[in-house]
Every structure is written in structure tokens, then in C-alpha cells.
Amino acid sequence: MRIDADEYFKSLRNKFGGDYRVFADVLGNFDCKSKTEPTSAFRDFWQQKYASYPIESELCNWAFELFNNLKRFYSGGVFELFKTKQVEWGAPPVRIKREDVPTNSDIEQLEEDKVTIYRGLSPDEFESKNFEQSWTIDLEIARRFAHKIYKDKIKGIVVKAVVPRSKVIYFDASDNEQEVIIEYGALRKAEILI
């Protein structure tokens, strides 16, 4: 699935303590081989095994997101999981590779050699220099992400970078977010925009 399981479970253990075992139960109880796995199956599972935790709890929400991520993966592979993950709901980082993306990419429509890209991100991501793969060629989209995604957290920031077009693994010109997916680890520096 292009998820570092050790990293994911370590983050869950840090966030939920001993309750992180709930996520192993989700993995053990659902194969989610299709998108049609009913939501009611998860609710029944939760009420039978974890009734002491409210269905509205953060633990339940994150466990439900894992259930949904399994469905996304089995339905559309790594690419669908990457495109539809909801990090703010507990989705683990997905690292996508060139072989995971559709072949109908519009990379040739990007600037010739170097592509100017933007990202709305958290100050922690900026400080780590371990940038995620989703960027945009539209500054306003990056600003929206910085202010929408991080509105309830530490104020998000907007950064700009230039990447060789050879490091872009996917671009769909018709995508309303003008998303550019770059190779993981392709960037280590970016400039903060005011």
C-alpha cells in the first residue's frame, strides 16, 4: 500500500497509547476487497468490540478512516488511496511511485525544464524539510490549503519551490486543484511566501 506500517503504528501508539491496538483489530476484521463493504459493518464491529468508546470519539474516527482507506486501496490501488486520503482524519502518509500513477498524465504540458510549484503546509513540515508529494502550480490553491486545512491548528504557511520536470510523476491539467505529484524526497528546500 506504500505505507510505512512501522511509522504509522508508532504514530498511532504516540497518539492513542495502548488503544492503538484498535487499528490492528480493524486490519484483522476487514478485508475491504471492494468499495461496497458497508459502513454498517464497521459500526457493528465498533459497537460489539469497543462500545466503551463513543462512535464520535477521535479513536473511532481514526479507526473508521483506516477502514475507508482499505476500501480505497482495494478499489483503486495506491493512486486512489493517495488522491483521496484525509490526513486530518488520521490517514497515514502514502508514498506514491511513478509506477502507481495512471499513464494518461499531462506532464508535458508543464513548463519546459523546471516547474514552479506551491504547497500549503504546516510549520512542522517546513522545518522538517521532509516535504510531502502533493503540490500545485496554482498559488491561490496553496493559500487555500494553508488556511483551510490548518485553520484549527497552528497557522499553515505557503511555500514555493522549483523542481525539475523529470521529478514530476503525475499532473492532470483538468484537475481543479492543479495538483502536481513529485517523487518522494525530490525536494529538500522551499521558500516561505508572505
Q: Which three cell numbers stand for residue 90?
A: 488520521
Neighbours of 170 (CB within 10 A): 24
Indicate the residue among 95, 117, 148 that finishes a domain. 95
**Of 76, 95, 114, which closes a domain?**
95
Determine which of 35-44, 125-134, 159-168 has the lowest per-residue pLDDT on average.
Answer: 35-44
Tell me, yes or no, whether 59 and 114 share the same domain: no
CATH number at residue 160: 3.20.170
**151, HSE (Cβ side, Cα atoms, 13 Å):** 6
Q: Do 114 and 166 belong to one domain?
A: yes
Model confidence band, residue 152 (pLDDT cutoffs 50, 70, 90) = low
DSSP label at 87? G
pLDDT at 83 over 90: no
Per-residue model confidence (pLDDT) at position 194: 67
Instruction: Identify whether residues 78 and 134 lie together within a single domain.
Output: no
Residue 103 to residue 98: CA distance in whole angstroms: 9
Residue 157 domain boundaries = 100-193
**pLDDT, greater one: 152 or 70:** 70
Whether the per-residue pLDDT at 1 is higher than 60: the answer is: no
Q: How many domains does the chain have?
A: 2
pLDDT of residue 98: 93
Mean of all residue pLDDT scores within the chain: 88
Q: What is the pLDDT of residue 90?
A: 65
Domain-terminating residue out of 95, 130, 148? 95
Is the pLDDT reported for residue 71 higher than 70? yes
pLDDT at residue 7, as a whole number? 83
Give, in order, the Cα–Cα distances in Å from 101 to each of 67, 111, 141: 23, 20, 22
- Under the banding of pLDDT at 50, 70 and 90, the label for residue 106 is very high
Residue 119 has pLDDT above 70, yes or no: yes
Q: Is the pLDDT of residue 93 over 90?
A: no
Phi, psi at 164, each rounded to 5°: -60, 140
Whether 60 and 128 share a structural domain: no
Whether residue 90 sits in one domain with residue 45? yes
Report the predicted TM-score, pTM, of the whole model to 2 decimal places. 0.80
Looking at the structure, tell me whether residues 187 and 170 fall in a common domain.
yes
Alpha-carbon distances of 25 from 2, 42, 62, rounded to whole Å: 20, 11, 13
Same domain for 87 and 12?
yes
Strand order in the sheet with 114-121: 168-171, 179-182, 134-136, 114-121, 157-164, 191-193
Q: Are residues 87 and 105 in the same domain?
A: no
Spatial separation of the C-alpha atoms in residues 91 and 78, rounded to whole Å: 13
Q: For the CA atoms of 173, 122, 125, 2, what is the dihedral angle to 10 degrees?
A: -50
Examine the domain organization and report whether 108 and 182 are in the same domain. Answer: yes
For residues 112-138, one letter each, b for 16 or more C-beta atoms within 10 angstroms of the residue's C-beta and e for the rest, the string is eeebebbbbbbeebbeeeebbbbbbbb
Same-domain pairing of 41 and 78: yes
Please check whether residues 86 and 128 belong to one and the same domain. no
Q: Is the pLDDT of residue 146 over 70?
A: yes
Residues 137 and 77 in one domain: no
Nearest in space to 32 (alpha carbons), one of 84, 75, 81, 65: 75
